[in-house]
Structure 1
Amino acid sequence: MVTIHGDSISNTTNTTAQTNDTMPAPAYTVKEEPLGTAQHVRIVGIGAGASGINMVHTLRHQLRDSFEHVVYEKNSGVGGTWHENRYPGCRCDIPSHNYQFSWRPNREWTNFFSSAEEINAYLGRICDDEGMRDSVIKTEHEVLGAHWDEAQSRWLLEVANLRTGERFSDHADFLINASGILNNWKWPDLPGLHDFAGDVVHSARWPAQFSCQDKTVAVIGNGSSGVQIVPAIYPQVKKLVHVVRTPTWILPPRVQIFSMGPAADMIDSIELDDDENFSPEQIVRFQTDPAFYRSFVKTIEKESNNSFPIVMKDSQEQAFAAAQMRQYMTAVLDGDERLCKALIPDYALGCRRMTPAPMYLQTLRQPNVQVVTQGIRRVLPNALELASGEVIEVDAIVCATGFDVSFCPRFPLVGRNGNLQDLWRDSMPQAYMSCAVPGLPNYFTFLGPNAPIGHGSVFTLAEHIATYIAGVIRKCQTEGIKAIVPSQAAVNDYSEHIRAFMPRTAWASSCSSWYKSGRDGTVTALHPGSRTHFFHMLETFRGEDYEYVYEGDGGGGGRASSHRNRFRYLGNGFSTRELDPEGDPTWYLDDAALTAGATDDEKATTRMKAQL
């Protein structure tokens, strides 16, 4: 087999043909297809959340009709995290009009920060309107395992139909994992938890029939879910016991923050009530005034993107923001010495996720709210026993304790180097630009190790990542590439850069964070740069960082040629661009006009889009 590593070629098979004079190498033959002919491929996606749904849209527009695509979704409906998380108070902390796809604007968001129900409905409408549900997305189907078959250059899959219990095999030329990182929820490790006599609820699996009315409820955890649940259920409970082990930075209301910066004039022009709901007149203006709507979206997006300097360690921006946050939290807690000590961090701002939480701090000052700052020794049938021996009787326990954030796949994922579950369980997860993994050919993932998951809207990230992935698949389809994978050397260099960069940020400072897999160590969850930096990085495909297996390099699912030549894709001398009756054979004149006077970056972006 001939494998291309950048500009070098290693020959590992067919040596007999080269040394035996009686078996000459086959003569090279021209491929009788025009340049640009796309080989048909089968693509399997995992997960129908925002990333998976956007991937369907992107592939349809960039690969046209040269592929088949199926998405396996384990849940009964689409929406991913917004289908799963239905706890009281669940909403996004990104402004609504920036937490959407650029190709599907929603001018009817009811609140500045949308609820889980509204976001899930938005994603569901897209699937319905674009005919994704039955034609592409298979709900209640779970991928149980994936194995790379080198001889066929394809993934062999085991899939379960959760409705019927049936298990079946499938295959994919390309496997795209959009299952997400904050997806595999876990119970806290508390002795006796599941022997508790009352209700035990996890924030990611909130039962529709569960009621807090007139109960003493313990809420364990003060992460992004816990700080939303506490004020939401408080009006119903008899008593609320909130277990807080680690202080966390609580942001002032985001609208208030925006109104103090460059977006102030825009915020002042928006009609919002005290609960940050848009007025009916405001929604109508969004619908009928496209220039104003676009200006609003771009202004808020720009302001959100400008927050990166805050997480730069020891920067003036961070010092100022930390002082403002500390002042805000102290004021809302009315200077209560015990609560301030328990809730205001002494670690760097940004080391853990900064969380907006309207009414959370105010709720903790209520007379029937008990804030517990020590550990839980065990759970008794009707109570929590604390580390001090104190026993607090409760009727229900809500675990807002998060997810498995190890990046280990939930199913065996076996590539050239073995099972990724084993490789990443005991070592630091590494990926190429967060979306490809060495040893896993034709495999891509959304929001893998060191993605910009804490940098802003996942929707926009998904669009850029999907465009990159689709471009790589298109390259393989049209250039005779059977298998493509980032080299270990490239990933090692990329990881070295990450390790050298992260100490500049608050993310790497001393605290326990899911950014560091729930530990105080190396940052594995965040991109080494700003959001714009990530987008810029993905604009250019670095072919030198990949290893290729070409058509004719042995095996190959029936696509082998009579001779190994990386340029065989050049074909019969004609181009699909001149032969397409619906195409524009003089497209280059339009590109030249489009890029006249443009910056180098703008020209590069235009060229990339034209290639895709």
Structure 2
Amino acid sequence: MVSETAGAAAARVTIPDTPYTILEQPLGTESHVRIVTIGAGASGINMIRTLRTSLTNYTHIVYEKNPKVGGTWYENRYPGCKCDIPAHNYQYSWKPNPEWNSFFGSAEEIEAYFCGVVEEEDFGREIKTEHRVVQARWNEKGVWELRIEDLRSGIVFDDYCHFLLNASGILNNWKWPQIPGLHDFKGDLVHSANWPENFEYPGRKVAVIGNGSSGVQIVPALQPGNWIAPPSYKTWKSGKVAEILGSLDMDGENFTPKQIEKFKTSPEYYLEFVKAVEEQINGRFPMMLKDSERQAQAFKLLSIYMTTLLGNDKLLCKALIPSFAVGCRRLTPGPGYLESLTKENVRVVTENIARVVPTGIEIATGEVVEVDSLICATGFDLSFRPRFPVIGRKGNLQDLWTENLPRAYMSCAVPDFPNYFMFLGPNSAIGHGSVITITEHISRYICSIIQKCQTEGILSLSPSHAALSAYSEHIDAFMPRTVWSETCRSWFKNGKETGPVTALHPGSRIHWFHMLEMFRGEDFEYVYERGRFGYLGNGFSTKELEGGEDKTWYLGTLGANN
């Protein structure tokens, strides 16, 4: 094994451990690697497909803690749960579904989509459900030593991998709010991300704590301040997308059978529709810049929209229409939410909660609001800390990101944690748009790195501290330009009103996609199996071996116009 080290400015120095010998294999030979992915949500499922189309000579296993795949769409089952991205853009580019029922897909429909993908593509043979990773420890022999718990039997066993991919997601480690006396409540205590299957709420007096995206969806579903936006397709008034959307055959929010059939029978029209919607979504970034014209327009129009839906009720408008910039918190389409708050059987309580008592909620005025059920739509652990010990060269990532800000190189890798990559890590491009296209890009990026290691004799690699420091410097300098850094309580800032923006990328989605097109090898530190150029091997190339492709490809392709 040969190691290479690098200082902030010094060149890498190769230190051979043994006399150099020729590796008796042709250039291009792919060494075998074992890959473990944690989580079978959108990212983990897509990784199976990307590996199959990108690599050879590997084994791959996905450990999923839940009984079924789907991640957040398996876990979130509360009434009214929907995605805030149009359904036809919340799907894999390689697995289009022209049969979505409505413009925004329900949790049930999205979960069924993911389960269908796994079944149709035979991904299940790489997935072990009800298995939880409980520890990962790096070994300088080039492997991650894993401890896995079989949740059905309770047995804990050992496994290993050369590359550990954490696809456990951002919004899946739900937490109770820090309210005194919460667990003294004698009625039904429910978290939106852990909704009981047989929870009976009709006829009960129900309190919902929180008006983020989950609360905004729950309230109108239970009813027979965040910025609330109209469904996006109703605001696109010009251009190609408006023309296409104007021709859609809709029944309210749902596509008619006639429209679905048109999607199914006309792939070109269907793709044109999907691309037009995607272009509109990608175009939202200018609104996220402080003091921009787009921001001012959005603030004015959404204020009017919310005021109208609240029936011009001055008290409700004062309590619910934000003073902070549009986009400081993730913009939420909430059909029926504001209208629900104006109903006679709904009370909006804006006073601070002092404590929870056995019969209800005591607010700051001293009044006790008695309720039968208490629903906490209060979010998740947003620290980015892994849910289990990930022990690298110099300690546990849990501790590192407890004592310091969560920082990751291009959102996916961390110094001193070799061969460890994350999906949707700190500062990824999740401020607007579909997470599905984001995970497709990061999957390809990770696969390109793994293939480089396979074919260039790299035992391990991780970003340098200097590279992460410089990347973080850029993030910190850019974020004050955005509305995300303004004063509002947001999961973009780990649930705080002020502070560094730890969740979002310093730029648009397209900016992030462009950034990941090329792997910057100069930002990484390497450990080689037998020297920097050991992979050159015995002087032959896999491109000239028997059974290979065209051995004179460099002269052009027969039958093509070169």
* Pair in the same fold by TM > 0.5: yes
Map of 2:331 onto structure 1: 354
Give the one of 77, 81, 100 matched to 1:86: 77
Equivalent of residue 460 in structure 1, options 401, 414, 437: 437
AA partner of residue 158 (structure 1)? R
Q: Distance in 1 between matches of 2:200 and 2:185?
A: 17
**Aligned partners of 1:173 and 1:342: how far apart in 2?**
53
2:548 matched to 1:571? Answer: no
The residue that corresponds to 1:43 in the other structure is 35
1:116 equivalent among 96, 107, 115: 107
1:270, CA displacement in angstroms?
A: 0.9
1:141 aligns with 2:131: yes
- Contact 2:3–2:526, Cα closer than 8 Å, also in 1: no
- 1:455 corresponds to which letter in structure 2? H
Query: Following TM superposition, by how much is the alpha carbon of 1:183 offset from its aligned partner in structure 2, in angstroms?
Result: 0.8
| SS of the residue 2:60 aligns to | strand
How far did 1:9 drift? 3.1
What is the CA–CA distance in structure 2 between the aligned matches of 1:35 and 1:11, rounded to whole Å? 21
Deviation at 1:221, TM superposition (A): 0.4
Letter in 1 for 2:398: Q
**AA aligned opposite 1:34:** P
Q: What secondary structure, in the 3-state scheme, does the structure 2 residue paired with 1:566 have?
A: coil
66, 81, 98: which one pairs with 1:75? 66
Secondary structure of 2:83's aligned partner: coil
Post-superposition offset of 1:12: 6.8
Q: Distance in 1 between matches of 2:554 and 2:436?
A: 32
List aligned pairs for 1:403-552, cutoff 5 A. Answer: 403-519=380-496, 520-552=498-530
| SS in structure 1 of the partner of residue 44 of structure 2 | helix
Amino acid corresponding to residue 134 of structure 2 in structure 1: L
Contact kept? 1:187, 1:399, Cα under 8 Å = yes
How far does the alpha carbon of each residue in 1:499-540 deviate from its partner, in whole angstroms, 9 at most, with x for none?
Answer: 000011000111221101111100000000000000000001
Match of 1:106 among 97, 101, 104: 97
The aligned length equals 558
CA distance change for structure 1 residues 472 and 104 in 2, over 3 Å: closer, same or farther?
A: same
* Mapping for residues 276-287 of structure 1, pairs under 5 Å: 276-287=253-264
The whole-number CA distance in structure 2 between the counterparts of 1:209 and 1:259 is 43
Among residues 212, 215, 225, which one is paired with 1:223 in the alignment? 212
Question: Which deviates more, 225-234 or 185-194?
Answer: 185-194
Give 1:61's aligned residue: 53
Unaligned runs of 5+ in 2: none
Alignment-derived partner of residue 374 in structure 1: 351
Amino acid at match of 1:127: V
After superposing the two structures, state which structure 1 stretch, 585-594 or 82-91, moved more.
585-594
1:588–1:282 Cα change, 3 Å: farther
Instruction: Write the deviation string for residues 361-393 of structure 1: whole angstroms up to 9, x where unpaired.
Output: 011000110001112111111121111101111
Q: For residue 300 of structure 2, what is the amino acid of its counterpart?
A: A
SS of alignment partner, residue 316 of structure 2: helix
Shift of 1:356: 0.5
Q: Which amino acid aligns with 1:576?
A: T
- Give the Å deviation of 1:13: 8.0
Helix, strand or coil at the partner of 2:235: helix
* Alpha-carbon distance between aligned partners in 1 of 2:276 and 2:120, rounded to the nearest angstrom: 29
- Aligned-residue offset at 1:577: 2.1
Partner of 1:273: 251
Residue 321 to residue 483, structure 1, CA distance change in 2 (3 Å): same
Residue in structure 1 matched with residue 282 of structure 2 by the alignment: 305
| Residues 171-250 of structure 1 mapped to structure 2, 5 A cutoff | 171-235=160-224, 247-250=225-228
Deviation, structure 1 residue 48: 0.2
CA distance in 2, matches of 1:447, 1:84: 18
**Unmatched segments (≥5 aa) in structure 1:** 15-24, 236-246, 553-564, 597-612
1:148–1:415 CA contact under 8 A, matched in 2: yes
Deviation at 1:281, TM superposition (A): 0.7
Amino acid at match of 2:258: E
- For structure 1, which segment, 581-590 or 30-39, has the greater mean C-alpha deviation from structure 2 after superposition? 581-590
Structure 1 counterpart of 2:150, from 161, 166, 169: 161
Q: Deviations over 1:154-175 (max 9, x none)?
A: 1001110000000001111000
Residue aligning to 2:6: 5
Cα RMSD between the aligned structures?
1.8
AA at the equivalent of 1:132: F
Contact 1:73 1:138 in 2 (8 A): yes
Residue deviations 1:306-341 (CA, integer Å, cap 9, x gap): 110000000011111111111111111121111111
SS of the aligned residue for 1:263 comes to helix
What is the CA–CA distance in structure 2 between the aligned matches of 1:250 and 1:261, rounded to whole Å? 24
Q: Deviations over 1:183-222 (max 9, x none)?
A: 1000111222222111111100101100111000001100
Tell me, yes or no, if the aligned pair for 2:133 and 2:146 is still in contact at 8 Å: yes
Q: Which amino acid aligns with 2:128?
A: K
After TM superposition, the score normalised by the length of structure 1 is 0.89
* 1:594–1:54 distance in 2 versus 1, CA, 3 Å: farther
Report the 3-state secondary structure (helix = DSSP H, G, I; strand = E; otherwise coil) of the residue aligned with 2:302.
helix
Contact 1:177 1:446 (C-alpha < 8 Å) held by counterparts = yes
Please, what TM-score do these two structures have when normalized by structure 2?
0.96
Q: Which residue of 1 aligns with 2:159?
A: 170
CA distance in 1, matches of 2:551, 2:419: 32
Q: 2:86 aligns with which of 68, 73, 95?
A: 95
SS, match of residue 176 in structure 2: coil
